[in-house]
């Protein structure tokens, strides 16, 4: 109820839809779930049907990859209709307990992982990290991301970043402990009130700092800040853009070779939503010995790993092959040694899939920062 008088139809511009079906046609989830977003846009026009639609399980299958929005010839965002339906469930309080706990955790602890705020910077232990002071000028202000802070599998992204920044003499600082969730998943889960609060609080917090730009380690934070934070005074980039710069400027020294075939998986929040496709590729190609492979579904057509859209907290009812498994199988067909990505959710879901398929002996899933950590002098 951002503006009390808006109907569902007005809010999501349902009348703008010409029912062409390009959205559903491109939706990666349709191969494994009953989700037909075009149908939802059509049905949601009938206000009386909204309650019934909101109770359907498939509205939680959407990963918010935004393929539908990218493809819509009318510039609409069909996925937002699904998010709107999710909002109705959120307002009723009857969301899945896992979703409830994640949202409550964002409110109370500033992260969706039910971890204490006091432990947010535990990953920094043993590292020499410069912490930002409000008002003090810094070129690059780093926003780590809740998942990178708390999940041991991806803390390496942040740790390696610090080591490389120190070695390359970059002017940087990391946000202090008050760093709180960007709200990416809060938005896609449909908790409008909490997301509004997140935007307000984070804008106020981030604007206290004096930086040339904010650098995010996660594409979700990257896209969320650029899309939903109109009053944020800093420009926001993703770390791959910074590292790409460092490589162009010759600031990174390689200490070894990585004679492997690496296939790069474009994260939806970095690629199709952020337009960042080339920087990660340049980084990988610059590692000595690397042979860079490409998926058929690459760049804007990248196959979503199903990590976003709240999927970390909601299991799909469909028992069909997960998209991440399909992706890993594609990688195997390409005979790739490493599947690389630049997003914590992609890493977690792809690695999960790889282990589920039993490919650990032959293949590895790695965050670009993991590889840099192994091959850059730092």
Partner 1 sequence: MGDVLVLAEHRQGALRDISFEMMAIAPKVAEAMGGEVKVLLLGSGMEEMAKKMSGYGVKVIVADDPLFENFNAEKYQKALSALLDDMKPAVFMTGQTAQGVDFMPALAVEKKLPYVAEAIDLNYEDGTLKAIRNMYSGKVNATVAFKQADTYLVTIREGAVEAPEPAAAGDVEKIDSPLKEDVPYRKFVEYIEAEVGDVDITQSEILVAVGRGLKEDKNLPPIEELAQSIKADIAGSRAATDAGWLPHDRQVGTSGKTVKPKLYLALGISGAFQHLAGMKGAKTIVAVNKDPEAPIFTVADYAIVDDMFKVVPALTEKLKELKG
Partner 2 sequence: MKTFVCIKYVPDTSEAEVKVNPDGKTVDDSRFSFDINDADNYAVEESVLIKEDKGGEVDVLSIGPKQSEVMIRMAMAKGCDKATRVEDDRIADHDPLIVAKVLAGAIKDQEFDLVLTGCWADDDGHMATGVALAEYLGVNHASMVKKVEVLDGKVRAHRELEGGLMEVLELELPAVLTIQTGINEPRYAPIKGIRQAQKKELNVVNLDDLSIDPAEVSADASQVVLENLYIPEVESAAEFIEGETDEKAEKLASILVKGGLV
Contacts with partner 1 by CB under 8 A lie at 97-98, 152, 315, 355
Number of neighbours of residue 269 by Cβ within 10 angstroms: 29
Which burial class, exposed, middle or buried, applies to 207 when counting CB atoms under 10 A from its CB (0-12, 13-18, 19+)?
Answer: middle
Binding pattern for the stretch 316-345 against partner 2, x by CB under 8 A and - elsewhere: ------------------------------
Q: Closest separation between CB of residue 372 and partner 2, Å?
A: 23
CA distance 220 to 218: 5
Return the one option of partner 2, partner 1, none that residue 152 interacts with (CB less than 5 to 8 A, by type). Answer: partner 1
Which burial class, exposed, middle or buried, applies to 154 when counting CB atoms under 10 A from its CB (0-12, 13-18, 19+)?
Answer: buried
Return the one option of partner 2, partner 1, none that residue 93 interacts with (CB less than 5 to 8 A, by type). Answer: partner 2
Find the binder of partner 2 among 75, 97, 135, 230 (CB under 8 A): 97
Find the binder of partner 2 among 6, 7, 104, 248 (CB under 8 A): 104
- Span from 76-84, 188-196, 304-312, 320-328 in contact with partner 2 (CB under 8 A): 188-196
Q: Closest separation between CB of residue 48 and partner 2, Å?
A: 22
Decide if 89 contacts 82 (C-beta within 8 A).
no
Find the binder of partner 2 among 103, 161, 268, 363 (CB under 8 A): 103
SS3 state at 11: helix
SS3 state at 212: strand
CA distance 293 to 285: 10
Residue 57 in the binding site for partner 2 (CB under 8 A): no
Q: Closest separation between CB of residue 6 and partner 2, Å?
A: 14
Collect all residues with Cβ–Cβ distance below 8 Å to 333 and sequence separation of at least 6: none
Find the binder of partner 2 among 91, 201, 300, 374 (CB under 8 A): 91
Decide if 305 contacts 327 (C-beta within 8 A).
yes
Question: Which secondary-structure segment (H or E) carries 142?
Answer: strand 137-143
Find the binder of partner 2 among 11, 22, 100, 298 (CB under 8 A): 100
Return the one option of partner 2, partner 1, none that residue 292 interacts with (CB less than 5 to 8 A, by type). Answer: none
Residue 355 in the binding site for partner 2 (CB under 8 A): no
Which is closer to partner 2, CB of 13 or CB of 196?
196
Residue 177 in the binding site for partner 2 (CB under 8 A): no
Which is closer to partner 1, CB of 60 or CB of 143?
60
CA angle 343, 353, 285 (to 5 degrees): 45
- Span from 93-101, 155-163, 226-234, 327-335 in contact with partner 2 (CB under 8 A): 93-101
CA distance 175 to 168: 20
Number of neighbours of residue 335 by Cβ within 10 angstroms: 11
Return the one option of partner 1, partner 2, none that residue 118 interacts with (CB less than 5 to 8 A, by type). Answer: partner 2
Which is closer to partner 2, CB of 43 or CB of 91?
91
Return the one option of partner 2, partner 1, none that residue 355 interacts with (CB less than 5 to 8 A, by type). Answer: partner 1
Decide if 262 contacts 289 (C-beta within 8 A).
no
Collect all residues with Cβ–Cβ distance below 8 Å to 293 and sequence separation of at least 6: 261, 262, 263, 264, 334, 336
Which is closer to partner 1, CB of 255 or CB of 355?
355
Return the one option of partner 2, partner 1, none that residue 315 interacts with (CB less than 5 to 8 A, by type). Answer: partner 1
What is the separation of C-alpha 206 from the centre of its chain, rounded to a whole number of angstroms? 19
Return the one option of partner 2, partner 1, none that residue 197 interacts with (CB less than 5 to 8 A, by type). Answer: partner 2
CA distance 261 to 163: 25
Of 301, 299, 259, 293, nearest to 279 (Cα)?
Answer: 299
Interface with partner 2 in residues 112-131 (CB under 8 A): 115-118
Interface with partner 2 in residues 71-90 (CB under 8 A): 90
Decide if 376 contacts 255 (C-beta within 8 A).
yes
Q: Which residues bind partner 2 (CB under 8 A)?
A: 1, 90-95, 97, 99-100, 103-104, 107-109, 115-118, 191-194, 196-197
């Amino acid at each position: 109820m951002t503006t009390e008088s808006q109907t569902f139809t007005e809010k999501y511009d349902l009348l703008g839809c010409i029912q062409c079906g390009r959205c559903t046609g491109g939706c990666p989830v349709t191969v494994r779930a009953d989700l037909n977003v075009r149908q939802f846009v059509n049905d949601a026009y009938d206000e009386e049907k909204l309650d019934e639609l909101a109770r359907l399980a498939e509205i939680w299958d959407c990963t918010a990859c935004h393929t539908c929005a990218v493809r819509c010839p009318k510039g609409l965002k069909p996925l937002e209709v699904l998010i709107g339906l999710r909002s109705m469930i959120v307002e009723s309080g009857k969301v899945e307990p896992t979703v409830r706990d994640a949202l409550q955790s964002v409110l109370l602890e500033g992260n969706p992982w039910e971890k204490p705020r006091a432990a947010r910077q535990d990953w920094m232990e043993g590292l020499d990290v410069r912490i930002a002071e409000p008002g003090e000028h810094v070129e690059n202000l780093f926003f780590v991301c809740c998942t990178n802070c708390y999940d041991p599998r991806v803390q390496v992204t942040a740790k390696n970043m610090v080591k490389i920044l120190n070695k390359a003499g970059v002017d940087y600082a990391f946000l202090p402990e008050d760093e709180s969730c960007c709200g990416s998943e809060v938005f896609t889960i449909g908790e409008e009130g909490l997301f509004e609060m997140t935007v307000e609080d984070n804008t106020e917090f981030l604007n206290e700092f004096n930086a040339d730009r904010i650098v995010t380690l996660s594409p979700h934070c990257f896209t969320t800040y650029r899309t939903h934070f109109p009053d944020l005074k800093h420009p926001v980039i993703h770390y791959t853009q910074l590292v790409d710069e460092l490589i162009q400027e010759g600031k990174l020294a390689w200490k070894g070779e990585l004679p492997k075939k690496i296939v790069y998986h474009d994260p939806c929040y970095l690629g199709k939503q952020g337009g960042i496709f080339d920087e990660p590729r340049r980084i990988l190609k610059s590692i000595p010995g690397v042979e860079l492979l490409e998926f058929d579904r690459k760049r804007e057509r990248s196959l979503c790993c199903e990590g976003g859209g709240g999927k970390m907290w909601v299991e799909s009812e469909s028992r069909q092959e997960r998209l991440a498994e399909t992706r890993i199988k594609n990688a195997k067909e390409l005979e790739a040694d490493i599947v690389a990505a630049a997003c914590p959710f992609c890493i977690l879901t792809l690695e999960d899939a790889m282990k589920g398929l039993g490919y650990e002996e032959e293949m590895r899933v790695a965050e670009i920062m993991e590889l840099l950590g192994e091959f850059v002098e730092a």
